[in-house]
Chains A and B, each alone.
Chain A
Amino acid sequence: MSLENNTSLIDEEIIRKDESKGLHNLIYVKDLSLWHGKQQTLKNVELNIRDKGITVLLGPSGCGKTTLLKTFNRLTDLDPDIKTTGSIFFEDKDILTKNIDVYALRQKMGLLSQRPHPLPGTISDNIRYALKLKGIKSKVEQDDRIEYYIKKVALWDEVKDRLKYSANSLSIGQQQRLCLARGLAIEPRVILADEPTSALDPISSRKIEEQFQELSKEFAIVLVTHILRQAKRLADYTAFMYYGEVVEKGKPSDLFENPKTEIFKDYLQVGH
């Protein structure tokens, strides 16, 4: 099978359709299935991820949201038991094929995990490491960017006097913003956020949400959340997953007002 053909097919046909509707998509998930050994975790997932917008993934625990995110940056490679079929098209390539440069791919897909995991070292070390991975060697330039990204996540005023302190000395909410800054420092195209506020207090959560709203003007954001209200506040596009399938997807206004399936209705009910 020829990859080239597949790629252009996806891109040209669908992109033209999308754009005629005024949509700009960055990632196209096509017939994606995934197995953990014998157990199938994702089932024929079809999903488009908006560029410059927030795509929210909803669904009960264990339905495969995290797994789907991990296929986007190929963290699924870590588990030798995982098998995938189907395609994920991103920037003219199917990123599930063998010959993709995973390191370059991962630098385009910034990850924000459920709990912040600062790297060992100081606050500025955390961002410096990302910059080093990006190939920025000049110390001056690194320092400039460290300031830039810490400001970008609205953390500067809180940490400017203690950049040389251990990153673990920050509060969890501050650590999460630091991790966001670190992720932005690798200059991604996409931000994959897996329940990024679930470990945070309401005020810190709100700060992250505000960040996301701001960042969605520049990036494609895929946000997994269990908080329905957060989904409603942030989503430009929503997909509801159930047992590995994308059961419903669409604009949040349509989706939340008129759920089509009983499962999603139940989910919305329980969520309230």
Chain B
Amino acid sequence: MNFSLRYYIEKLRKSWMIISLVIILSLPFLIGISLLFKSWPLLVSTPISEIIFSSNWMPTKGNFGLWPFIFSSIVVSLLGLLIMIPFTLASAIYITQFAPNWISKVLRTVIDILAGIPSVIFGLWGIIVIVPMVSEWATSANSANASGYSILAAGIVVAVTTLPFVLNMLIELFESVPRELKESTLAMGASHWQTIKDVILKKIRPGIIAAFTLGLSKAFGETIAVLMVVGNVVQIPDSIFAAGYPLPALLANNYGEMMSIPKYDSALMLSALMLLIIVILFNYFAHKVIRFYQSKM
């Protein structure tokens, strides 16, 4: 009696785990399929290549060229990545290799605090600090758009929002290097810097690439902080001081409005689907990189 009760509890526990697992595993597919379903009307009427690469965005006339949004997204996240790489690498090396214990502890706490700040606050900070700064640069560069609301401002803000996330991964990577490997290298007469450059960085290079790919993916999906400073103008930005309109901003700004326009919600759903696919691809690639090198190293 007791046994069979235990048996059923065990069975229940097992099936409960399996059900949760199935739900979690199928979530991305479910989301993807519902987005695909919703974007279907647009997809059957217009070839996908035209939607992706056309810059003609005139929802009222039935033109849904997504290229300005895709392009803005790419440029903003790449800019963010470029700005973030030197800072995160330098800080991770300093924190794990050079800083005295107490400084390293303080810095880690600061990073954790940064990581916990909601991105809307970074957006506000961008408006107060970064936008005026960029505006000044734009003015002195005689740019057509001197407002400061630009892809550069968005790049800087997105660099800051993803920085703690990437930095934490980098720190973990550097700390995963066994102390003895470092000692063995130093014991051959290598300097501290040679050890970092020739051995440690080389050892964790795949991890670094993966961390930056995940950072890029996060930057790509960053919504609120970006839309607050990017200007939200539907155009192909012609300079870093020009305004842009990334995909997530398009979705956040417009969903729920102007839904009476035919196929408009299809277009938005399709952008969401693309965002989802791109981010999943980034993550997949990051894991591939890690796998590939793990098998090789």
Q: Give residues 115-129 of A contacting B (CB, 8 Å).
A: 115, 117, 119-121, 129
Docked-complex contact B199 and A120, CB < 8 angstroms: yes
Contact partner of A117 (CB less than 8 A), chosen from B181, B191, B198, B297, is B181
The answer to whether B184 has its CB under 8 Å from any CB of chain A is yes
Contact present for A75 and B202 (CB under 8 Å): no
- Mark A179-193 against chain B: 1 for CB-CB distance below 8 A, else 0: 100110010000010
Docked complex Cα distance between A193 and B118 (Å): 52
Interface residues in A88-139 (C-beta closer than 8 Å to B): 103-104, 106-107, 109-111, 113-115, 117, 119-121, 129-130, 133-134
Assess whether B183 is in contact with A111, with CB atoms less than 8 Å apart: yes
Question: Is A75 within 8 A of B183, CB to CB?
Answer: yes
Interface residues in B168-225 by Cβ distance below 8 A to A read 178, 180-181, 183-191, 194, 198-199, 202-203, 205
Question: With A103-B191, A166-B297, A168-B297 in contact, is A75–B186 under 8 Å at CB?
Answer: yes
Contact A179 B189 (CB under 8 A): no
Which 5 residue pairs of A and B lie closest in terms of their CB atoms, listed nearest first? A111-B187, A107-B189, A120-B203, A117-B181, A120-B202
B184/A103 in contact, CB under 8 A: no
Residues in A neighbouring B188, C-beta threshold 8 A: 106-107, 110-111, 129-130, 133, 182-183, 186
| Interchain residue pairs with CB less than 8 A apart (13) | A75-B186, A75-B187, A103-B189, A103-B191, A107-B188, A117-B178, A119-B199, A119-B202, A120-B205, A130-B188, A133-B194, A183-B187, A192-B187
Query: Which residues of B approach A to under 8 Å, CB–CB?
Result: 100, 178, 180-181, 183-191, 194, 198-199, 202-203, 205, 296-297
Contact between B185 and A166 (Cβ–Cβ < 8 Å)?
no
Interface size on A, residues (CB 8 A): 29
Q: State how many angstroms separate the Cβ of B138 from the closest Cβ of chain A.
A: 44
CA distance A115 to B184 in the complex (A): 10
Assembly CA distance A103 to B191 (angstroms)? 7
* Chain B residues whose C-beta falls within 8 Å of the C-beta of A87 in the assembled complex: none
A-B contact count (CB 8 A): 64
Task: Tell whether, in the assembled complex, residue A133 and residue B189 are in contact, meaning their CB atoms are under 8 Å apart.
Answer: yes
- How distant is the Cα of A104 from the Cα of B191 in the complex, in angstroms? 11
Task: Verify if A270 is at the interface (C-beta below 8 Å from B).
Answer: no
Residues on the B chain within 8 Å of A110, using CB: 187-188
The answer for the CA separation of A167 and B154 in the assembled complex, in Å, is 44
Q: B189–A113 contact, CB under 8 A?
A: no
Output the nearest chain B residue to A107 by Cβ-Cβ distance: B189
Q: Are A120 and B297 in contact (CB under 8 A)?
A: yes
Q: Which residue of A lies closest to B184 (CB)?
A: A117
Answer whether residue A73 sits at the interface, using C-beta atoms and an 8 A cutoff: yes
B297 CB to closest chain A CB (Å) equals 6
| Contact A78 B186, beta carbon cutoff 8 Å | yes
- What residues of chain B lie closer than 8 Å to A78, measured between beta carbons? 183, 186
In the bound assembly, the distance between CA atoms of A7 and B86 in angstroms comes to 48
Give the distance in Å from the alpha carbon of A248 to the alpha carbon of B205 in the complex: 48
7 extra interface residue pairs, beta carbon distance < 8 Å, beyond A75-B187, A103-B189: A78-B186, A106-B188, A110-B187, A111-B188, A113-B184, A119-B203, A182-B188
Give chain A nearest CB distance to B133 CB in angstroms.
Answer: 39
Q: Are B180 and A117 in contact (CB-based, < 8 A)? A: yes
Of A104, A107, A119, which one neighbours B185 at CB under 8 angstroms?
A: A119
Closest to B201 in A: A120
Q: Is the CB of A106 within 8 A of B185?
A: no
List of A residues within 8 angstroms of B203 by Cβ: 119-120
| B180 → A minimal CB distance (Å) | 5
Closest to A75 in B: B183
Residues of B within 8 A of A22 (CB): none
Chain A residue nearest to B192 (CB atoms) is A78
Query: Shortest beta-carbon distance, B111 to chain A, in Å?
Result: 23
Cβ of B180: which chain A residues have Cβ within 8 Å of it? 113-115, 117
Which residues of chain A are near B189, meaning CB under 8 Å?
Answer: 103-104, 106-107, 133-134, 186
Residue of B100, B178, B194, B202 touching A80 (CB-CB under 8 A):
B100
CB distance from B173 to the nearest CB of A (A): 13
Contact of B202 among A107, A115, A121 (CB under 8 A): A121
Shortest beta-carbon distance, A120 to chain B, in Å? 4
Q: Which residues of B contact A114 (CB under 8 A)?
A: 180
Q: What residues of chain B lie closer than 8 Å to A182, measured between beta carbons?
A: 188
CA distance A75 to B297 in the complex (A): 27
Are B187 and A106 within 8 A (Cβ)? yes
Residue in chain A with minimal CB distance to B190: A133
For B185, give the chain A residue with the smallest CB separation. Answer: A119
Task: Give Cα A168–Cα B180 distance, bound, in whole angstroms.
Answer: 15
Chain A hits for B181, CB < 8 A: 117, 119
In the bound assembly, the distance between CA atoms of A166 and B296 in angstroms comes to: 7
Q: B-facing mask of A141-180, CB < 8 A → 1, else 0? A: 0000000000000000000000000101000000000010
What is the CB-to-nearest-CB distance from B220 to chain A, in angstroms, rounded to a whole number? 30
Min CB distance A153 to B, Å, is: 16
